[in-house]
Structure 1
């Protein structure tokens, strides 16, 4: 949990800088008070919730997630991998909630941080992991290309990445992970419909929640 709290302290300012519409450069100043970030110094140098106080939910959330992973997996070699991969994962969730965008670089970082170590630790499971990533990626791409755009291309890339990572835990983990993600997003959509709050729903947070739900189904396998 200490790792989670420390890592979560760096995330809000990074999210502030990257929570912008597609094609818009990262912010150079706080979006609330307008205070410019120091030139040449990355946003993650400064801990805490940016220069404007916004609470410490990311710190608490990441601490709880780290504690959950530690309790779930135990002292196995895969634990540090999933803890490190959770950093870009939580950042992606924060950005998607803020502006319905999943930056490619962060999705790529998640794939590299999680995929390379898992492939080295579990070389015998690379083929099913790749198959899971290709299956989910192809399915989501077809959905994204259908009229109505139920999914964005960012969702396609993140879904394929998370399926690849879950593939190392086995097909049951993949099924539970993506089943949970769609059930969660479906429940949110139904609630918005009932309350007449029609608005786009970010799918990234549900995908990431489903990933950890799927991970919990195959503890002995990973």
Structure 2
């Protein structure tokens, strides 16, 4: 893929990141509903303030900065264009990434992964990639993709049912939805995509604990780690 095309794809990613913040905030009602106190991943209780983040390029609000998400979107799209630019499945991967940016915003803002958005991830990969595989004459990739769904669903469901593990069922559904594109990309991507989220989350928790930003009982979103791990697996394999 030419440098001009990569740059254009990165610009599209930046635009997707800019749009992700208002869409994500609207999806979870941030800024409209009364403040709520988080009592666990995916659950909240009314009556206490949320942690405050800066959403726009200036001014505090709930959620990540809009400019930050735009930069992340540019990096995500640009790296996918470099790593997967020669594959016909790139548009489907970019669609999944766009919805993933919105899900990262919702999880960081309200510890929620709304089912309609997770469903959009599943549809983006589940419809776009099979069509690509059939057109490209590679139907065998669909078998690995389905195995990826099964392994992701089974593994994360098992973890979510373990006592003391703060893994919500929204995380389980997101991992299952992303298992399809991971499997479609092949076994190396699938293995890496199943491993990296836990590594990224563990390192993040250790850094935040060392910096005194969180306590051991502080609920943290896991969706961004799943999304980041999937993206890294797609780029590195």
TM-score norm. by structure 2 comes to 0.74
State the partner residue of 2:192: 176
Give the corresponding residue for 1:42: none
1:39-78 counterparts in 2 under 5 A?
A: 49=56, 55-78=66-89
CA contact (8 A) 2:25 2:31 kept: no
Distance in 2 (CA, whole Å) between partners of 1:107 and 1:195 is 32
Q: Residue 6 of structure 1: which of 9, 15, 19 is its match? A: 15
Structure 1 residue runs without a partner (length 5+) = 20-25, 33-47
Indicate if the aligned counterparts of 1:13 and 1:50 stay in contact, CA closer than 8 A.
no
Matched with 1:130 is 146
Match of 1:207 in 2: 226
Residues in 2 aligned to 1:12 and 1:30: alpha-carbon distance in whole angstroms:
17
Matched length: 197
- Residue in 1 that maps onto 2:111: 100
Does residue 1:191 correspond to 2:202, yes or no?
no
Provide the alpha-carbon RMSD of the alignment. Answer: 2.6
Match of 2:131 in 1: 120
**1:107 offset after TM fit, Å?**
0.6
- Counterpart Cα distance in 2 of 1:118 and 1:73: 13
Given that 1:16 and 1:30 are in contact with CA atoms closer than 8 Å, whether structure 2 keeps it comes out as no
Give the direction of change, closer, same or farther, for the CA distance of 1:182–1:126 in structure 2 (3 Å limit).
same
List gaps (5 residues or longer) in structure 2: 1-9, 36-54, 134-138
Please state how far the C-alpha of 1:162 moved relative to its aligned partner.
1.2
Spell out, residue by residue over 1:67-111, the C-alpha distance to the aligned partner (whole angstroms, 9 max, x if none): 111111124311111111111101101111111111111011011
Give the deviation of 1:30 after TM superposition.
9.1
Cα distance, 1:192 vs structure 2: 3.3
Where in structure 2 are the equivalents of 1:142-181 lying within 5 Å? 142-181=158-197
CA contact (8 A) 1:12 1:50 kept: no
